Amino acid sequence: MASLPPIDLPAGTSGEGAFDAPVAEPSREKLFDYLLRLGDDSLILGQRLSEYCGHAPSVEVDLSLANMALDLIGQATLFLDLAGEVEGKGRDGDALAFHRDVLDFRNCWLVEQPNGDFAQTMARQWLFSTWQKSLFDRLANSRDPRIAEIAAKAVKEVAYHQDLAAEWVIRLGDGTEESRRRMVDGLDWMWRFVPELFEMDGIAAEAVRCGIGVDVAAFRDDYDRRLREVIAGAGLEPPADQRPILGGRRGHHSEHLGHLLAIMQFLPRTYPDSKW
């Protein structure tokens, strides 16, 4: 007798227990934390890229980087506004971006790393955007329609970031002797921050269990395959694995983040509620 085809279970359900068992809701605190992670990644990388405004190697590259920064800050606004709404204490995206201290930021280490030279910036962008693209592809199916909507809008922006950054990794890696050396150094600097992107802790697991978040560990192989393709296209070897650095999601950050926040938050903290 032919057997029935396997049943596709919705994300976050175990397939066990009573029929029509209610799907769990994450606690308010955990959902808030999960949204901060999403928003802070985009916010901090957007601020980093903004540092290039007027300083990029050419006016065209200046615009490319500023466009990406604006995309990211737009995503951060949506995620952090939603985080404030979930938190329910009257804070909006601006309050969360400009009036939070460094230990309360939940971004990964990769995005807070300094720009370095253009190759280092592109190495960071490529490693992050490739991850964020896969993340948002899946987040667009979140059971929370507000999150799904933001991800569906942002994924098109991020697809372009990933594409542009990969093109630069290939051109610099496969360019001159100097550009190759710089890209090798840039990848080497950023490589140790990749494992953190795939870390699953209690809050991430809870978000997955409730069908709201993404199981990042599940697309690690796919990510590694994409990386290998571009690195091969650039005529480079993948950097040697280094001791991974973790902890951004728990508020442990490199010294670089404090300096970034000092510049980003100075004005709104010194002149609260100023408008111009």
Nearer to other proteins, 167 or 185 (CB): 167
Position among 42, 47, 64, 113 found at the interface with other proteins (CB under 8 A): 64
Angle at which helices 145-173 and 177-191 cross, to 10°: 140
Per CB under 8 A, 53 contacts other proteins: no
Rounded to whole angstroms, how far apart are CA atoms 44 and 274?
Answer: 22
- Restricted to residues 134-163, the positions that interact with other proteins (CB under 8 A) are 160, 163
Per CB under 8 A, 7 contacts other proteins: no
Position among 67, 115, 254, 265 found at the interface with other proteins (CB under 8 A): 67
Nearer to other proteins, 232 or 267 (CB): 232
Nearer to other proteins, 57 or 238 (CB): 57
For residue 107, the SS3 value is coil
Contact pattern from residue 189 through residue 218 relative to other proteins, giving x for each residue in contact according to CB under 8 A and a dash for the rest: ------------------------------
179, two tokens: 């550009």
Per CB under 8 A, 164 contacts other proteins: yes
Position among 100, 153, 171, 256 found at the interface with other proteins (CB under 8 A): 171
Give the burial class of 8: count Cβ atoms within 10 A of its Cβ; 0-12 exposed, 13-18 middle, 19 or more buried. Answer: exposed
DSSP string, 109-124: HHHHS---SHHHHHHH
Q: How far is the CB of 47 from other proteins (least distance, A)?
A: 19
Give the length of the chain. Answer: 276
Nearest by Cα to 170 from 110, 116, 121, 229:
229
Q: How far is the CB of 100 from other proteins (least distance, A)?
A: 30
**How wide is the angle at C-alpha 105 spanned by C-alphas 100 and 107, nearest 5°?**
145
Per CB under 8 A, 167 contacts other proteins: yes
